[in-house]
Amino acid sequence: MQPKLTLLSDEIIARILEEAYELLRCPGVKVQNPEARDLLAAAGAIMYPDNNVVGIPEALVKKALESVPREFYLYDYDGNPTVHYGGDSVHFDPGSSGITMLNPETLEHDTTETEHLIRLLKVAEQLPQYDAQSTAVICHDVPKEIQDSYRLYLTLLYSKKPIVTGAFTNKTVQEMIDMLVLFAGSEEAARAKPRAIFDVCPAPPLIWSNFGAGNLIALARAGVPAEIVSVPLSGAAAPVTMLGTVTQHTAECFAGIVIHQLAHPGSPIVWGGAAAIFDMRKGATPMGAVETAMLDCSYAQVAKTLGMPTHTYLGATDSKLVDAQAGLESGISAMVGALSGINMISGSGMLDFLACHSAEKLVLDAEGIAMAKRMIGGVKLHTDTLATGFYDDKINFKGGDFLKQKATMQLFQKEQHLPSSVIDRDSTRAWKAAGSLDAFGRCKLRVIELLASYRRPEIDPEKENRLHAFILDLAKKCGLEELPKLEDFQPV
């Protein structure tokens, strides 16, 4: 039995859905993309041309919910289905789109470039706790116009895992889809076994921007999975109450699903978000706040009553360092996400309100994720009798008796998660002998080990070279003659 955390009653969920439908009718949703408006108008939505607001009838939502897939998979490079969107499956990936990275020596937040993304990819690739990679940071050493495509390019070169990514414009989403098609071999292959999912954000409150809605349409038509990342901020860009925020989140997701399914019914889309409260002292959006985790747990519960696959942003911290606050906020929120049965939980590795990434934090968070996954593994029945079978004639009432049992050897690794060297369980003597390191110190060592043991996966050289040529062509179009040199890959 997978343990579950639920915060809402069925009655409250029914009211959330009811009021979300009401919000879609009035005040309606601002849709800033002309093609999306055309699709909605043709489907019978009420159009207010003066301000691009669209009233979406309940019937349109219900129709969209009928055609949307209840589950689908993301595939790794070798074509294995390794991420399951649907039901109560739980996966984690590193947070996306950081703009700085913690320098473990100077503790400065360095502006991210190619080397930083590669460092994160290498570390996450070797940690089994991360079922998917993300295009984790923006590389500021390439022009803005290709920054989103370029990080997908690096991720495809350095990883075999499925990828959580996103595009920054309606033009680049198509380029990124083309890159995936190039790697998959054909449009059909890319659709049949999607490697990547694209985060697409509405703007709170109740706005689907030109870029957001445009992305939804392009992804739906290509059959590439889309993940709605609705970001209501309680008390600022959404009602101050949790239930009000979750209701707005529901309406924003509904509107996105309608646009998406109108563009291509049956294309995969995920009910996701990065909801947060708005901190009234600092005007910040704390990702480590317990209320943020509560909002996510709540909206996931709403999604599950509709049978939708789910996503959220948890496992991150607002601390600037990999310190005690980072550990507790990330660990607690990862646990809440896992107990909520959310299919993809993004955010690990991230500090400073999702602005800053850290490889050291990725290895720390992997331990929190392992604990959360162990938790949802639940308490299992492994033996015919619960205990009596363990007390055979060899028991001589000594403390170590059970260490001598075959069952102990066979079952201890099923019952107990064995943490990595990041978690200290040494005696004080051994801890001192190992340098009296704190968790951050141990994380630094683990990152060094992982960077040393990394080998770039074997990828079809023809695909790699074509991908390189594709991205180089994009770079040249915006005035960059040469891409940053990569240590592990030399194009032919």
Per CB under 8 A, the list member of 106, 427, 436, 453 interacting with other proteins is 427
Q: Quick one: 395 or 403, whose CB is closer to other proteins?
A: 403
Nearest approach, Cβ of residue 452 and other proteins (Å)? 17
128 binds other proteins (CB under 8 A): no
* CA separation for the pair 273, 486 (Å, rounded): 34
Q: Using the minimum distance from each CB to other proteins, give the nearer residue, 396 or 490.
A: 396
Is 485 a binding residue for other proteins by CB under 8 A? The answer is no
At 116, list the tokens: 């930083």
Report in angstroms the alpha-carbon separations of 72 from 83, 156, 315.
Answer: 8, 21, 24
Question: What gap in Å lies between CA 172 and CA 175, rounded to an integer?
Answer: 5
Q: Provide the 3-class DSSP secondary structure of residue 194.
A: coil
Tell me how far, at minimum, the Cβ of 98 lies from other proteins, in Å.
Answer: 32
- Nearest distance, CB of residue 84 and other proteins, angstroms: 31
Q: Which stretch binds other proteins (CB under 8 A): 129-137, 326-334, 383-391, 401-409?
A: 401-409
Contact call for residue 48 and other proteins (CB under 8 A): no
- Partner residues linked to 30 by β-bridges: 53, 207
Q: List the x/- string, 66-95, binding to other proteins by CB under 8 A.
A: ------------------------------
Does residue 398 bind other proteins (CB under 8 A)? Answer: yes
d(CA 154, CA 146): 12
Min separation Cβ 437 and other proteins, Å: 16
Cβ-based nearer residue to other proteins, 48 or 412: 412
Out of 62, 144, 382, 404, point to the residue binding other proteins (CB under 8 A). 404
Tokens of 105: 């020596």
**CB 363, min distance to other proteins, A:** 16
* Least distance CB 404 / other proteins (angstroms): 5
Phi, psi of 98 (to 5 degrees): -65, 155
Instruction: Specify the residue, 67 or 420, whose C-beta has the smaller distance to other proteins.
Output: 420
The reply to whether 399 sits near other proteins by the rule CB under 8 A is yes
**Does the footprint of other proteins cover residue 430 (CB under 8 A)?**
yes
CA 135/CA 133 separation, integer angstroms: 7
Cβ nearer to other proteins, comparing 418 with 492: 418
Specify the stretch interacting with other proteins by CB under 8 A; choose among 49-57, 58-66, 256-264, 402-410: 402-410
In 3D, which of 365, 488, 491, 349 has the Cα closest to residue 420? Answer: 365
- Interface with other proteins includes 409 (CB under 8 A)? yes
- Taking phi over 0 as left and psi of -120 to 50 as alpha, with beta for the rest, 315 belongs to left
DSSP 487: S
At 442, list the tokens.
């141990």
| Residue 31 vs residues 3, 40, 218: alpha-carbon distances, Å | 39, 9, 16
Least Cα distance to 345 among 364, 365, 328, 322 occurs for: 365
Nearest approach in angstroms of CB 378 to other proteins is: 22
Q: Give 116-157 as a DSSP string.
A: HHHHHHHHHHT-TT-SSEE--B--TTS-GGGHHHHHHHHHHH
Give dist(CA 193, CA 191) in Å, integer: 6
Q: Which is nearer to other proteins, 147 or 405 (CB)?
A: 405
Contact between 383 and other proteins by CB under 8 A: the answer reads no
| Residue whose CB is less far from other proteins, 49 or 399 | 399
Residue 400, interface with other proteins (CB under 8 A)? yes
Whose Cβ is closer to other proteins: residue 304's or residue 442's?
442
Residue 51 in contact with other proteins, rule: CB under 8 A: no
CA gap 249, 301 in Å, rounded: 12
Which residues in 241-280 contact other proteins (CB under 8 A)?
none
Residues in the site for other proteins, rule: CB under 8 A? Answer: 398-400, 403-406, 408-409, 412-413, 418, 427-430
